[in-house]
Amino acid sequence: MAQEFWDDSNSRLLFEQANQEIGFDLSEVMFSGTEDQLKQTNVTQPAIFLHSVIKARSLAENFQPDMVAGHSLGEFSALVAAGALSFIDGLRLVIIRAQAMQKACELQSSTMAAVIGLEDSIVEEICDAIDQVVVPANYNCPGQLVISGSIEGVNIACDKLLAAGAKRAILLNVGGAFHSPLMEPARKELMIAIMAASFNEPVCPVFQNVDASPHTNPDEIRKNLIEQLTGPVRWSQSILAMIEAGASSFTEIGPGNVLQGLVKKINRTMVTSS
């Protein structure tokens, strides 16, 4: 993972800074660790963040996007790419975020499920009517919405959503109910770190998860980032808002190309690259 960037001296400096900040050899795990090692909470989020930042900086000497957005964890690397956060501050927040989320997951058994082939409004109505914690969490693309909540709440919702015409309702192999009210303990812990971090005015608008709107005011960015852990990822809405603001092509920066696929489903005429 990201080993192709090691020979670049600027990238190697970021690897070394990350290793020092996290307290173990993160780069070694990224390059040669097992799948189980990479899936550990204290590894996964910092590794993806590091990979994304390094890849962004490899695109150009003075990389400056016209606008940015990040899906959940990706919002942190997007903020670094836009200059709203320094690399070190972003990394520190990601490390705290991963640890806080893990602790919140251990407080109550919870889960998430992908709902395929149903209008967002129907999913919202069904979740609202259930007397358990279950909410829309990720608006990924038309016909694909992830719900999140207690195990009982998500199971009840899946049954009702299938009965309402969903093609599939698939339980996800995740550690907990991310982007739901069950992440409130993590939100409170992360809030302290976010309030202490230094935020700058970004070089371009940042379309944030919680409201799918462009932001350049550091105080607004900070507030929205605090709300992100318990609020939904409005990815479909963010992409449409970016297109409305003039985006004509998207470059995905990070491991994989999942977001390219989502963008194409949101707008089939859009040009994407990685």
Residues in the chain: 274
The catalytic position among 52, 179, 215, 238 is 179
Residue 179 is among the residues annotated as catalytic for this protein: yes
Q: Of 11, 27, 72, 77, which residue is the catalytic one?
A: 72
Q: Cα separation of 33 and 11, whole Å?
A: 19
Give long-range contacts, CB 8 A cutoff, 24+ apart: 11-17.
11/54, 11/57, 11/58, 14/50, 14/53, 14/54, 14/57, 14/87, 15/50, 15/54, 17/87, 17/88, 17/91
Element (H, E) at 217: none
- Is the torsion defined by CA of 128, 163, 110, 92 positive or negative? negative
Residue 215 known to be catalytic: no
* CB-CB contact of 90 with 76 (8 Å): yes
Cα–Cα distance for residue pair 154/159, rounded to 1 Å: 9
Show the tokens assigned to 86. 């320094």
Q: What residues act catalytically? A: 72, 179
